[in-house]
Chain A
Amino acid sequence: MLDIDTISRPGLGPISLRVANGECVAITGASGSGKSLLLRAIADLDPNSGEVRSQSGARSAIPAPEWRRKVAYLPAESGWWADTVAQHFETPEKVDLATLGLAPDAMAWQVARLSSGERQRLAFLRMLSRQPEVLLLDEPTAPLDADNTALFEQRLHRCLARGTSIILVTHDPAQAKRLANRHLVLADGQLTEAAHG
């Protein structure tokens, strides 16, 4: 569950939105309409006002690092701070690489030689290994081919079946239809229902 209560930042909002357990809300909108800024604000990565609640409680009452483990944001371009993939995981041996079509030895790879699609899938697995309650996904399948996109969406369906709430920013209306229960459009800093939800 995610309950966004009038959050705003310069150029955005106030926005209120409720995402139930196991629900996926898709957000589309023109480039520069503030989709990423909205996700960053929910994750409390930039200064913003308003309140957000999850199962674990109100954001303002939870230390920020703990909030970000529960309400996990996957940026469109992932960040890496060590040389090999495994160094970015707490328990590399427990990660299920095959479900996203990654080679079994991917943990030993150098980050510098990853393709953008590999980066994206590994960053997603890295995030899932922290067992988040809510996923904030920013164009997660943009660098993936059709086969890997299908695997990625299967994995998201499994998360939804387990009760995870998802906000999915996407450019692809078909993907919004495949995954989301609701489809919203962000324009002029406000969310509205899409014409063909």
Chain B
Amino acid sequence: MDNYIALSYVDIALASVFLLLNGALSLWLRLGVARSLAFAAARMVVQLLLVGLLLKSLFAIQSPWLTLLVALFMAGFAAREIWARQNRRLRGWKGLAIGGGAMGASVGVVVLMALVVLVQPAPWWSPRYALPLLGMIMGNAMTGISLALDTLHTALTREQRAIEAQLLLGANKWEAMRPFLRQAMRAGFMPSINGMAAIGVVSLPGMMTGQILSGVDPNEAVKYQLVVMFLIAGATGLSVILATLGSARALSDERHRLRLDRLGKAKQGG
């Protein structure tokens, strides 16, 4: 870390000059995004400064319970985000529980294994390692699950007639829903696949870039990035499969009926 260059708040203010220019252009061209641009930027500044303070004190306190509490708060927020990003959602508690549960189970297992077997910080729950890993993996699983569930719920609603036609000819519910389960899982897998394919050529990942900027040997940064990418893709895939199967199960019953009555109204048309 000897060649690490610390930034001052003046540097940060200077970096925002281009964003201010964007705001001015937006006003001039009447794009109507100046307000939301300013609001989002202000929100980002506040959130990141707060999280910086929080992490700093968490690292200083070194309490497993506080670390767990923060992890649970992050998971709860992610579960709510999965719920909010679907156009049609399951009614009731299952709407939150299936996406959140699938994410919690797979991300939990993957992060535990990463800490205990791979990175092995001391203590193993050290917030400096546990929380960033959890954040990166959970953020990607969250995107995958919400895409998969949104795709599944839209497809089942749109293709009700085709699914019921198969049920009426004696197919069981899994046979009748199979193409739409596949479609939903594919949608959930896509961001991980695209992310892995483009990495290094088109995009240098933020974590790796950050490590390199802070003076870590690029080879070491690449190793970390590979580990994280494998964990992300693995956890996302598992949670997408779990969530899709769980939601399909909730949207059908033991008499092999399609139960779209358990789905809420669409937020927007279609």
Contact with B along A42-74 (1 / 0, CB 8 A): 011111000000000000000111101100111
- Are A69's CB and B164's CB within 8 A? no
Residues on B with beta carbons closer than 8 Å to the beta carbon of A47: 253, 255, 257, 259
- Are B165's CB and A46's CB within 8 A? no
The contact of B171 among A44, A65, A75, A80, by CB within 8 Å, is A65
Given contacts A44-B255, A45-B257, contact A65 B162 (CB under 8 A): no
- Are A127's CB and B257's CB within 8 A? no
The contact of A81 among B162, B170, B253, by CB within 8 Å, is B162
Answer whether residue B163 sits at the interface, using C-beta atoms and an 8 A cutoff.
yes
Residues on A with beta carbons closer than 8 Å to the beta carbon of B168: 43, 45, 68, 72-75, 127
Q: How far is the CA of A47 from the CA of B171 in the complex (A)?
A: 18
State which size class the interface on A falls in: 20 to 34
- Are B165's CB and A68's CB within 8 A? no
Q: How far is the CA of A77 from the CA of B167 in the complex (A)?
A: 15
Q: How far is the CA of A80 from the CA of B163 in the complex (A)?
A: 8
Q: How far is the CA of A75 from the CA of B165 in the complex (A)?
A: 8
- Are B165's CB and A81's CB within 8 A? yes
- Are B169's CB and A69's CB within 8 A? yes
The contact of A79 among B165, B170, B255, B257, by CB within 8 Å, is B165
- Are A68's CB and B162's CB within 8 A? no
Given contacts A65-B171, A69-B170, contact A79 B161 (CB under 8 A): yes
Question: What are 10 sample pairs from A and B whose C-beta atoms fall under 8 A apart?
Answer: A44-B255, A45-B164, A46-B257, A47-B253, A64-B255, A64-B257, A78-B165, A123-B165, A127-B169, A130-B170
